Amino acid sequence: MQYISTRGGDGPLGFEDTLLSGLARDGGLFVPKDYPQLSRDDWNALKGKSYTEIASAIMGYFTEGEINHEDLSAMVNETYSGFTHADVAPLVALDNDIHVCELFHGPTIAFKDYAMQFLSRAFDRALSARGKRAVILGATSGDTGSAALEAFQGRDFVDIFILFPDGRVSPIQERQMTSVIADGAFAVAVEGNFDDCQDAVKALFRDLEFRDRVGLSAINSINWARLMPQIVYYVTSALALGAPEREVAFAVPTGNFGNIFAGYVAKRMGLPISTLICASNRNDILTRFFESGVMAREGVEPSFSPSMDIQVSSNFERLLFELLDRDHGKVKQNMAEFSETGRFNVAPDVMAKAREMFKAYRLDDEGTLAEIARVKGEHGMVLDPHSAVGVYAAHQARVSGQVDQDTPIVALACAHPAKFPDAVEKAIGSRPELPPHLADLMTRESNIHHVSKQPKDIADFVDQMKRQNHGT
């Protein structure tokens, strides 16, 4: 398996070089040179297998030639051994053939655990074999950071720095990050919003001298290997609901477009996904794009679903690359235009292709609270605000006829409701409790660093911490 950049100036690389590079040196994102193609018999052969067996099989296509089956299976088994549900990503049925896929049974009770626990082991394996260290720099709107710090803390070959917007993540999310106190693990509050954090990360990746000197790598979904494990729960859900003989649709709450792009990859692999439903909160740049064909950056407004408070959806470049028939030049032109003006548009024929696969909905804060209350009242299930946006979009797609009655819809529940207790309490009048392993979270010791949003200040902080820890 080889990987190329969406902007045409880097690659092809193998899996481990792609993993360690994170962002391509030309500023683009890595994608497979060719997507694996599975037949109906291949999908049927996975039916009845465990989550870890299916994960090993699916991820094996993307690590082919570099990680043998035995080593990969061992990594996958270790990755999910600490999850608290036997099915790892269980399905719960609602009404009207809508199902919720619970993606909050990992250590930090958010869907980022499914990829991050694998990534930490993949990094350790690759760096150990090369005798190298890496600095991982990531931006988070909440859940990525806590999952990354939990997974990477204490790893032998990695220092990890997670940037988050000061005061714009939930108290639970912040304490999950800042209570990870381990050598080489740094939770860094940045003045500004998530897009400022993400912009700083991208700027430092473009600084090739700094990048090479510290061995910079990424765990955000700009890193292809972050998306790879997320493909798996699309496969397990679809197989459980009758694939490959039956089509399935998915509703995905998304801001950075990584989780839903994993579903697109599953579809490209041959999984019979009829529709991918893009669910946005009030920061609806993605919904506006699918409605108008214009990607236009606006101000970020804080919401009850802060992980989607984003106006620059980094992973969208991967979809744009595919929609433009892998034309590197057009991708570079559009991304340069977006960087300079905050907008670009695509041609009507390109939008026609996009709308064949994607439907898009938005839900504001008032509607989010109403949806949490509705699902609790009708089904006894308590959703977090992000998951509520996804379930709402699933219902809208059904009642509008955009997904037909014979096609089951899976709404991805991306976080445990206890991560956002204030919003949930507003909706249903009671606060959800944290799972037992996190019951003492808010009383744990905490350590937080503060840095400006200027890339130079962040680079200086990384250098300072490296000197303190390693003398280099």
Cα separation, 420 vs 372, whole angstroms:
12
Long-range contacts at 23-27 (CB < 8 A, ≥ 24 apart): 23/202, 23/205, 23/218, 23/222, 23/223, 25/208, 27/202, 27/205, 27/206, 27/335
Q: Quick check: is 359 catalytic?
A: no
Dihedral sign from CA coordinates of 25, 134, 414, 195: negative
> For residue 390, how many C-alpha atoms fall within 13 Å in the half-sphere facing its CB?
30
User: What is the amino acid identity at position 165?
Assistant: P
What confidence score (pLDDT) does residue 142 get? 76
**415 DSSP 8-state letter:** B
Q: And the tokens for 46?
A: 């996975």
Spell out the residues 6+ positions from residue 209 whose beta carbon is closer than 8 angstroms to its own: none
pTM: 0.94
What confidence score (pLDDT) does residue 396 get? 97
Question: What average pLDDT values come out for the chain (472 residues) when binned by 10 residues?
Answer: 96 95 93 98 98 98 96 97 97 96 97 96 94 92 89 91 93 94 94 92 94 91 94 98 98 95 98 98 96 95 92 94 98 96 97 97 98 98 98 97 96 96 97 95 95 96 89 66
In a 10 Å sphere around its CB, with 0-12 CB exposed, 13-18 middle and 19+ buried, how is residue 345 labelled? middle
What confidence score (pLDDT) does residue 472 get? 62
Q: And the tokens for 79?
A: 């990755």
Transcribe 119-133 into DSSP letters: HHHHHHHHHHHHT--
What confidence score (pLDDT) does residue 468 get? 86
Cα separation, 143 vs 147, whole angstroms:
6
User: Treating both helix axes as pointing N-terminal to C-terminal, what angle do 171-178 and 143-152 enclose, rounded to 10 degrees?
Assistant: 20
**CB-based contact 215:131 (threshold 8 Å):** no
Angle (CA) 209 215 220, round 5°: 105
Cα separation, 88 vs 51, whole angstroms:
7
Of 254, 240, 15, whose CA–CA distance to 111 is shortest?
254
- Cis status of the peptide bond prior to 244, with omega within 30 of 0: yes
What confidence score (pLDDT) does residue 141 get? 81
Domains of the chain: 91-107+226-428 (3.40.50.1100)
What confidence score (pLDDT) does residue 124 get? 92
Cα separation, 449 vs 462, whole angstroms:
11
Of 90, 32, 63, whose CA–CA distance to 269 is shortest?
32
What confidence score (pLDDT) does residue 221 get? 86
Of 175, 170, 186, whose CA–CA distance to 386 is shortest?
170
- Which residue among the candidates 112, 332, 419, 453 is catalytic per the annotation? 112
